[in-house]
Amino acid sequence: MKKVIIDVDTGVDDALAILYAVNSKQLDILGITAVSGNVPLEQVNINTNKVLKLLAVEDQIKVYKGADRPLLKEPYHEFRVHGNDGIGGALDHIDIDIPENEVFAPDFIIEQAKKYKGELTLIAVGPLTNVALAVRKEPRLAEWLKEVIVMGGLVQSAGRGNTIPTSEFNIFADAEAAKIVFHSGMNITLVSLDVTRQVLLTEEHIEELQGSKYYDFVKNSTVDYRNFSINLYGINGCALHDPLSVGVALDPDIVQREKYYVDVETQSELSYGQTICDFRNLLKKEPNVNICVGVDHEKFLQTFLDHLKG
Ligand code: BDR
Ligand code: CA
């Protein structure tokens, strides 16, 4: 089984990504690392532990808390999309005792990458603060990790960001961290909005889950998320950004990739967090990021629903 660590800022679609990863039974999840993002770190920790309890794997998979703020900028959260608690209040009924865990997330990532050199895939579906801290502390992480699958950015659909016109949330939330990661030498696949917007969970899909243990959670947690999407984009469905990143770990052929030089804008107020891809190699720099140029959305959605149905 592929060994993975999932770095999350749980978040509705982060929660769906965890459900998908665990239910696939095809990933050896060494741990889940938490980062400030959609909601503050403490809430990310609560949400993630609740999701693990919903899945009844709270004794097998541990959550490691990491950065409680971006490297340089002020925290930016996304309550509009994910609701006040980040998961649309959908797990209010679950009581948890959050286990004590003193290991800092970036240290956990370094430790596991060292232990499983060349074997570990990191799936990062929140701002890249934990990953940047880890690779700054231990640059050999770039050699040790097999792959880093990053949900973030947009490269082909310029102007169609989801936070500011140029920028996607995870990169916008900590562009300095993203810049460090993109230039770290890691083997990066960028699962950007260009492809994640092609995998939409609609109301009809959700109804297909009736009878499954996760139906209520999926339906209730996505209400705000779907309303936001209808109002802003006229789309009644939620883009499965983070689950698709897990999907890439499960089935690398679900996306088509091409490697280019990609950099991150950190100076401009107008375009902070923009991911700029040098498609024409005008800058003559070594390609550093595998971008996704296509996705088999039907196959992905079917697999996602099948795993959630159990
Ligand atoms: C990304 O931002 C977050 O709001 C989601 O969880 C996802 O990781 C999409 O832009
Ligand atoms: Ca996320």
Distance 139 CA to ligand 2 centre (A): 25
pLDDT at 260 over 80: yes
Give the pLDDT band (50/70/90) at residue 169: very high
Distance 37 CA to ligand 1 centre (A): 9
Question: Which has more pLDDT, 229 or 299?
Answer: 299
Q: Check pocket membership of 11 for ligand 1, CB cut-off 6 A.
A: yes
> Are the CB atoms for 151 and 32 separated by under 8 Å?
no
Q: Which residue type occupies 109?
A: I
| For ligand 1, mutation pick of 9, 77, 150, 274 (most atoms within 8 Å of CB) | 9
Q: Check pocket membership of 33 for ligand 1, CB cut-off 6 A.
A: no
Task: Name the burial class of residue 111, with classes exposed (0-12), middle (13-18) and buried (19+) by CB atoms within 10 angstroms of its CB.
Answer: middle
pLDDT of residue 220: 93
Distance 78 CA to ligand 1 centre (A): 9
Separation CA 199–CA 298 (nearest Å): 8
pLDDT at 237 over 80: yes
Tell me which H or E stretch contains 109.
Answer: helix 105-115
Q: Is-above-0.75 flag for pTM?
A: yes
Domain residue limits at 93:
2-309
Give 290's Cβ-side CA count (13 Å radius): 15
**Region for 198 from its dihedrals, namely left if φ exceeds 0, alpha if ψ lies in -120 to 50, beta otherwise:** alpha
Annotated active-site residue 307? The verdict is no
Q: Mean per-residue pLDDT for 248-268?
A: 98
> Are the CB atoms for 188 and 290 separated by under 8 Å?
yes
Task: Look up the CATH number of the domain holding residue 191.
Answer: 3.90.245.10
pLDDT at 103 over 80: yes
The per-residue pLDDT of the chain, averaged, comes to 95
Percent of the chain with pLDDT over 90: 88
pLDDT of residue 81: 76
Q: Check pocket membership of 16 for ligand 1, CB cut-off 6 A.
A: no
The closest alpha carbon to 178, from 279, 292, 285, 265, belongs to: 265
Question: Which has more pLDDT, 149 or 230?
Answer: 149
pLDDT at 185 over 80: yes
| For ligand 1, mutation pick of 38, 85, 163, 248 (most atoms within 8 Å of CB) | 38
> Are the CB atoms for 205 and 305 separated by under 8 Å?
yes
Q: Check pocket membership of 168 for ligand 1, CB cut-off 6 A.
A: yes
Q: Mean per-residue pLDDT for 7-21?
A: 97
Query: Tens digits of per-residue pLDDT, 29-88?
Result: 999 999 999 999 999 999 999 999 999 999 999 999 999 999 999 999 988 777 788 898
Strands, E assignment, the chain = 2-8, 27-34, 63-65, 120-124, 147-151, 188-191, 200-202, 237-239, 255-260, 262-264, 275-277, 289-295
> Are the CB atoms for 196 and 153 separated by under 8 Å?
no
Distance 126 CA to ligand 2 centre (A): 4
Task: Name the burial class of residue 185, with classes exposed (0-12), middle (13-18) and buried (19+) by CB atoms within 10 angstroms of its CB.
Answer: middle
pLDDT of residue 235: 78
Q: Which residue type occupies 149?
A: I
Question: Which has more pLDDT, 6 or 89?
Answer: 6
Other CB atoms within 10 A of residue 7 CB = 31
Q: Mean per-residue pLDDT for 121-148?
A: 98
**Of the residues 77, 93, 183, 241, which is catalytic?**
241
Tell me which H or E stretch contains 159.
Answer: none
For 3-17, 86-100, 192-206, 237-251, which range has the lowest pLDDT when averaged over its residues? 86-100
Query: How many domains does the chain contain in total?
Result: 1
Q: Which residue type occupies 40?
A: P
pLDDT at 263 over 90: yes
Q: Mean per-residue pLDDT for 246-274?
A: 98
